[in-house]
Amino acid sequence: MSIVLHGVAVGAGIAIGRAHLVTRGMDEVPHLELLASEIPTEITRYEQAVKATRRQLEQLRVAIPENAPAELGAFISLHLMLLSDVSLSREPIDLIKEQHINAEWALKQQTDKLAEQFDAIDDDYLRARKQDMLQVVERIYKNLNGLSTEVAVEEDFEDDAVLVAHDLSPADTVFFKDGRIAAFVTDVGGPTSHTAILGRSLDMPSVIALGHARELISEDELVIVDGSMGVLIIAPDDVVLGEYRRRIREFRSHKRQLSKLKKTAATTLDNINIELLGNIETIEDIKNLHKLGADGVGLYRSEFSYLNRDNLPTEEELFVLYSDVVKRLKGKSLTIRTVDLGVDKNPRWFGQSHSLNPALGMTGIRLCLAEPVMFRTQMRAILRAAVSGPVRMMWPMISSVTEVHQCLAHLETAKKQLAERDEAFNADIQVGVMVELPSAALSINAILKHVDFVSVGTNDLIQYTLAADRGDESVSYLYQPSHPAVLKLLHYVIRAANRLNKQVSVCGEMAGDEQYTRLLLGMGCADSQ
């Protein structure tokens, strides 16, 4: 009997193949009480496992194939950063000492604690980093027990092998391109998880967040992975097989046609040019941006320079980083969003908050205005980097025109500071704001009088408008991009920007969903990120 499972579609296309089950490493963790004399040996065992994990990740980063996704190196680097954090490198050792327990049980206790902290984060993207943490932990656990840390990509695999796993780490996918893998599916993951991002980048049919797929599938069982619709079909009958084989032929033909248009200018039949921009987090993302023919960077998430460190980055550090990004873009535009930190994504150097609702607390531009030295330091670095190419500055989580006035005042102070130092900078840099809150959308006419452009962050705008967290499975059904209230706000912002001849773009998952492309174009939006 066929079984149909629905999950999150991340890698478009369809694959029909035989299942290969990927073994998990932490199904049953032993809990042992140790003698005081055994503690030093157990600590050494844990330290060796961490060292082995670091060595493996560094080797994988060096061995990344040329045809691998550009994001892969950045993701493995993130795993190395997580591994170096004291929460994984030292705190399990403290538990071994304090409780006289084995390394595996100490690692499990620390993992459970970290998982709870990640679950409390409001931001979708950063909450999804929980999976990265768990992937690093599993690799440490396997090294503790002498287990293989690699996903087996057997030479005798058929060309239609489908990997079925509870989860896959970025490191697991390093050799996908060289292996005989047609598709992959996982039990866990979300739209912003690195597994999802890699699924899209690998150009491979993939579905995540299937729940219990691995428990329901047997080794070598025939499955269909519909990466376009987010469907996994186990043991399909002949009728279903015939239909999906027809769909595969149609998809491949459509893909061949699209590949011919990849670097063609996006112009409508009535001669309106549509600008397609990329969202990036690291320098490694730029390679993929050029490959896909994007017109520039519509959003550079700058907060990753502030995380996983014990102090604030200096102006010179940020200037060197931004200048390198400008250089690698080769004349394409770059919009840098100023740091978007807060109670739900605190660096180690920032004090902890006890807000009952992080999403409504000290976050985004509120934190920047509360920490003017940090804010102006970053703005000075951006102003200096803007001498080398087309750079714009954008402020996140704006809620009112008052905040815009405050940002402009700090910008003027940053310019004066650079002028007093006789430092070269772009005094005429364009500035814009993220429209992520209903209050900003409804105040858009006043805001637009003081900025050069706006970018609508649909992920947050939808969540704040509908009071529905798409990462919360119990209310995710309420997260509706096509809700009339959301569409009215979008239309209101786009119409106001067009009337005042100000550039407006749309970013977030909605901007990347082709079913909304015509709708956004019809509303008058000519920029998509």
The residues that are catalytic are 194, 507
Taking phi first (over 0 means left), then psi (-120 to 50 degrees means alpha), and beta for anything else, what does residue 231 get? beta
As a whole number of angstroms, the distance between CA 415 and CA 460 comes to 31
H or E element that contains 527: strand 527-528
As a whole number of angstroms, the distance between CA 48 and CA 366 comes to 43
- Of 170, 89, 82, 145, whose CA–CA distance to 118 is shortest? 82
- Report residue 41: phi and psi, to 5°: -65, -40
CA 82 to chain centre: 15
- Token reading at 26: 């932490």
In 187-295, the DSSP E strands lie at: 206-208, 222-226, 231-234, 275-280
SS3 content of the chain, % helix, strand, coil (to 5): 45, 15, 35
Q: Is 315 helix (H, G, I), strand (E, B) or coil?
A: helix
- Of 286, 312, 290, 310, whose CA–CA distance to 300 is shortest? 286
* 453, β-bridge pairs: 432, 503
Cα Rg, the chain, nearest whole Å = 24
- Of 108, 118, 94, 120, whose CA–CA distance to 144 is shortest? 108
Question: Around Cβ 356, how many Cβ atoms within 10 Å?
Answer: 6
Quote the longest CA-to-CA distance of the chain: 80
Q: Are 358 and 343 in contact (CB under 8 A)?
A: yes
Q: Are 302 and 378 in contact (CB under 8 A)?
A: yes
As a whole number of angstroms, the distance between CA 6 and CA 172 comes to 23
Q: Are 7 and 185 in contact (CB under 8 A)?
A: yes
Q: Are 495 and 482 in contact (CB under 8 A)?
A: no
Residue keyed to tokens 């050069």: 452
- Of 254, 4, 24, whose CA–CA distance to 148 is shortest? 24
Amino acid residing at 246 = R
